[in-house]
Amino acid sequence: MHIFDESLLAPHIAPDVPSNLKVRPLRIDDFSKGYLDLLGQLTSVGTIDQAAFEKQFHAMKSSVPNYHIVVIEDITNGKIVGSATLVIEMKFIHETGSRGRVEDVVVDREMRRQKLGAVLLKTLVSLGKSLGVYKLSLECKPELLPFYSQFGFENDCNFMTQRF
C-alpha cells in the first residue's frame, strides 16, 4: 500500500536514476526497510513501533492536504536511502489555491553526493507544478541555500519558529 497514487508520481520521476534504485511513494512496509532510521539522520524520530507507524501512515494517507512522501529504495538490499515530502496545503487565498511545502529531505549518509538529493528535489518540483500549486516553499539551514537554489528556490523571507 502506497501513501499516494504511484501513477501520479511516475511522470515526474527525474530520468537520471541509477538502475539499482527505485523512486516511489512511501509504502506501509517501509517501516521494515529502514525508513525511520533514515529520518533519524535528519532529526530526532523517537521510539515508534510498527503499530504507531502504521496508524500515522493511514492518517496521512487519508488526510487532505495530501502527504506526498517520495522515497528512494536501493533494490539490491531493500533499504530506503532517500526521502522527501511534498505537503499540499489548501487555501482560500489565490482563488482557493494550494501551496506546496517541501519537507524532510534526507539522503543516507553513505549515499550522499551521488545526486539522489537532486533526484528527489527535481521530482517534487515537477509533481508540485503538475498539482497546480501557486508556490513551493521550504525551510533550511543557510549552508543548504546553494543546494536548494539549483532547483528554483530563492531565499526571499525570514523564517520564525516556536518550539514546544
Question: Is 107 among the residues that bind ligand ACO (CB under 6 A)?
Answer: yes
Closest distance of CB 95 from ligand ACO, Å: 27
Name the residue among 33, 139, 62 with its Cα closest to residue 24.
33
Non-local (6+) Cβ contacts of 56 within 8 A are: 48
* Secondary structure of 104-162 as H, E, C letters: EEEECHHHCCCCHHHHHHHHHHHHHHHCCCCEEECCCCHHHHHHHHCCCCCCCCCCCCC
Question: Is 137 among the residues that bind ligand ACO (CB under 6 A)?
Answer: no
Question: Is 151 among the residues that bind ligand ACO (CB under 6 A)?
Answer: no
Question: Is 113 among the residues that bind ligand ACO (CB under 6 A)?
Answer: yes
Question: Is 102 among the residues that bind ligand ACO (CB under 6 A)?
Answer: yes
Question: Is 118 among the residues that bind ligand ACO (CB under 6 A)?
Answer: yes
Residue 137 exposed, middle or buried by CB count within 10 Å (0-12, 13-18, 19+): middle
Question: Is 45 among the residues that bind ligand ACO (CB under 6 A)?
Answer: no
Question: Is 89 among the residues that bind ligand ACO (CB under 6 A)?
Answer: no
Nearest residue (CB) to ligand ACO, 95 versus 143: 143
| Interacting positions 60-79 with ligand ACO (CB under 6 A) | none
